[in-house]
Chain A
Amino acid sequence: KQEVTQIPAALSVPEGENLVLNCSFTDSAIYNLQWFRQDPGKGLTSLLLIQSSQREQTSGRLNASLDKSSGRSTLYIAASQPGDSATYLCAPTNQAGTALIFGKGTTLSVSS
């Protein structure tokens, strides 16, 4: 059974800092892994999708890496901005690829 852990649970940084969010998962037999952001009271916005055969994926100031064999993924945010404040969720698939398994998220607060 896939279990996902995200560290840290919460993070507060001043604007402009580069930061890393960590995700670990117990079952390496995944199809892909998605990173989402969720703003308070809102839905989920997909940030990046990494296929199981890929090592990393980039979108703007975001870079996500995947080490499937060790069950780890990181989300790197460059030059953080107050608008980045949100909860970031890591979600690898289950073994059958039929569902995403979510961590509890990292709540990020970027101060100006």
Chain B
Amino acid sequence: DTAVSQTPKYLVTQMGNDKSIKCEQNLGHDTMYWYKQDSKKFLKIMFSYNNKELIINETVPNRFSPKSPDKAHLNLHINSLELGDSAVYFCASSQVAAYEQYFGPGTRLTVT
């Protein structure tokens, strides 16, 4: 059973479009995260959600909006995509904040 899953695995789109990436965890965890890995392979936190409440937002443009319909899902919606948004986006979850984090397989976003 996949613990943290993401869809789609690959996403190719044009500048200016709006897209969403979905994340689901079946671990019963309370906290979920989105990380971005840039072209230099550097991983950086974007958001985390705890019981549907946003608890951090690390200088991410407001074109990015996390949406959590329930505790098991944290989707990432991106408006007006730009070339610089091309990256691999990873979803993660943990039982509560500051506990061990488990990562999804990643979504490779390419903006042309």
Q: Across the interface, do B102 and A46 meet the contact criterion of CB distance under 8 Å?
A: yes
A64 is an interface residue with CB less than 8 A from chain B: no
Q: Across the interface, do A43 and B104 meet the contact criterion of CB distance under 8 Å?
A: yes
Chain B residues within CB distance 8 Å of chain A:
33, 35, 40-45, 48, 55-56, 58, 90, 92, 97-106
Extra contacts besides A31-B98, A100-B101 (19): CB < 8 Å: A32-B98, A32-B100, A34-B101, A36-B103, A42-B105, A43-B90, A43-B104, A44-B43, A44-B103, A46-B100, A46-B102, A49-B100, A94-B45, A96-B56, A99-B58, A102-B43, A104-B40, A104-B42, A105-B41
19 A–B contacts from the bound complex (CB under 8 Å): A32-B98, A32-B99, A43-B90, A43-B104, A46-B100, A46-B101, A46-B103, A89-B43, A97-B98, A99-B45, A99-B56, A99-B58, A100-B35, A101-B45, A102-B42, A102-B43, A102-B44, A104-B41, A105-B41
